[in-house]
Structure 1
Amino acid sequence: MSEQRYRGGLFHTLKQILKAQGVRYCDLAELMQVSEPTIKRLFQEEDCKLSRLIELCDILGIKLNDLIELASKTPTEPKQLPLTTEQALAADPSLTSFFMLLISELSPEAIAQESDLTEADVYLYLRELEKLELIRLGRNDSFHFTVARPIRWRVDGPLHDLLVRINQQFIKEALCNHHVTDSPFYSTSRLFSEHSIKQLHEEIDRIYQRFQQQAALDQIYYPTDQLKPYKMVATLTPFNLSHYFSVDRFNERKQ
């Protein structure tokens, strides 16, 4: 999986270019000297080597940088999984963890090494994910995702407790270690109008899209050993001050 990067946004843009130029899959197959099913599978899986992506761009008469720029203007919308799928994952915490690591671009080999799993363990986990129609297994334990990413998990869904626990732990570590890692951490509360909050929501959405797009580009241009996972947490919601800062009666206050 080291060379197989998820390029959903780029392939979405490629499809738009094909449509605009009136190029069919069969036409593209002839130009690339491959079968039409190969082209259909390529676009269905949205997964190929960088050299093949460059070849596609050359045939369509565009530069890879131009494709990336076009794709960067297309929002990367998170997709939800079926509720039954989230329920199945919630019922199997280890399977959920395996899937979370997998969609975070860790290879099965890396997961096995980190978690001390055997090859049989890895295959069984991949097989369970295939049963849930989250991946499709290929030869020699290769696979590709059958679900679009990023995934929007239901905040109040079956994985609610897990998501709360992970984010609480992450924020705690970020708050305690930001002076060591030199990572930014901001927390504040102020008074705002509804109009201003709407504008700030839009800006946060743009930052989120930028985060997703830059990750996709880095995964194309950099080898796996030069990448490491980062997590971004952002929210903007009404803050009930009295709920968090209670004041005891003066004579009953704790000292």
Structure 2
Amino acid sequence: GSRGHMRGDTFKTLQGILKARGMTYADLAGRMNVSEPTVKRIFAGQDCKLGRLLEICDILEVPLPDVLHRAARVSEKASVLPVATEARLAADPSLFFLFILLREPIPQHLIEERFGLSGQDMFRFGQDLEALGLAEVHAGNRIKITRKDPIQFRLDGPLIPLLKEINLKFLDQAISNAGGQNSPFFTVSRRMLPDTAAFIAREIEALQATISELARQDQMVSREEDLVTCKLTGAWAPVSFPDILTIAPKD
């Protein structure tokens, strides 16, 4: 899954600590009772069992939370796709939605079952994503997403109608299930001074950063199948109720 990408930062951080301690891979291998190639493989980010990670932290005398926290701070900013790529995805909503599902990652066979898609469909979708540089098509029409980094879609770009649709449907779902324990729908409107509103906007930005950072740390130490996707959708802006509400005169 997308963990290799995330874990890379953890191991970059550990490499720095290793250097700071004046230790080599060979020294670490000796302390762990494994071969040097094994340590090299671990640091290539291909092996991240929590026990191993804790063992390395122990030897380096550094708490794992500090390592994760440090690794999270080197978090990459979300990248933006070229406008032409967004326009191509906007022109084919099914292609865009498939891209989102495969990035989740939801297993391809489940997507095929859910939406009644044939191998031929997947091959054609895969070719379209490949042409956009977003995926590769492998044997058996397996689509491998190549863009694993966080992507920020333009909020003033060609995808606006589809992003609006996704978020409105999500809110609709959340409001319908509002009684449920795990999906609190909340909304608040209050009278306040503009500088208070600006302060709250900064608090919301901080919350977004916290969500991204905590999720990154989870991805570094977890198996893909243990993670759940959660979504927060909101807007914070001055509201004009007369522009939203209508009142019909009594005939």
TM-score by length of 2: 0.73
How far, CA to CA, are the matches of 2:42 and 2:205 in structure 1?
34
1:22-33 matches, within 5 Å, as: 32-33=36-37
In the alignment, which residue of structure 1 is the partner of 2:238?
Answer: 238
2:56 equivalent among 52, 58, 66: 58
**Alpha-carbon offset, residue 89 of structure 1:** 0.9
Instruction: Give the whole-Å Cα distance in 2 for the aligned partners of 1:63 and 1:92.
Output: 48
Structure-to-structure mapping, 1:220-235, within 5 angstroms: 220-222=221-223, 224=225, 226-235=226-235
Identity of matched residues, %? 24
Conserved 8 A contact 2:136-2:144: yes
Cα contact 2:5–2:148 (8 A) shared by 1: no
Q: Write the letter of the residue equivalent to 2:88.
A: A
Per-residue CA shift, 1:149-181, capped at 9, x if unaligned?
A: 1x2111221111111112112212212221145
- Which residue identity is paired with 1:102? L
Q: Which residue identity is paired with 2:101? A: L
Distance 1:33 1:243 in 2: 66
CA distance in 2, matches of 1:71, 1:102: 26
Provide the alpha-carbon RMSD of the alignment.
3.8
Structure 1 segments unaligned to the other structure (5+ residues): none
Shift of 1:10: 4.1
Flag the structure with more relative contact order, 1 or 2, with Cα contacts below 8 A and sequence separation at least 6.
2
- In structure 1, the partner of 2:77 is 77
CA change 1:203–1:172 in 2 (3 A) is same
Query: CA distance change for structure 1 residues 52 and 246 in 2, over 3 Å: closer, same or farther?
Result: closer
Name which of structure 1's ranges 83-92 and 182-191 shifts more when overlaid on structure 2: 182-191
Deviation at 1:197, TM superposition (A): 2.5
Aligned residue pairs total 237
1:129-144 equivalence runs, <5 A: 129-136=129-136, 141=142, 143-144=144-145
In the alignment, structure 2 segments of 5+ residues that lack a partner are: 30-35
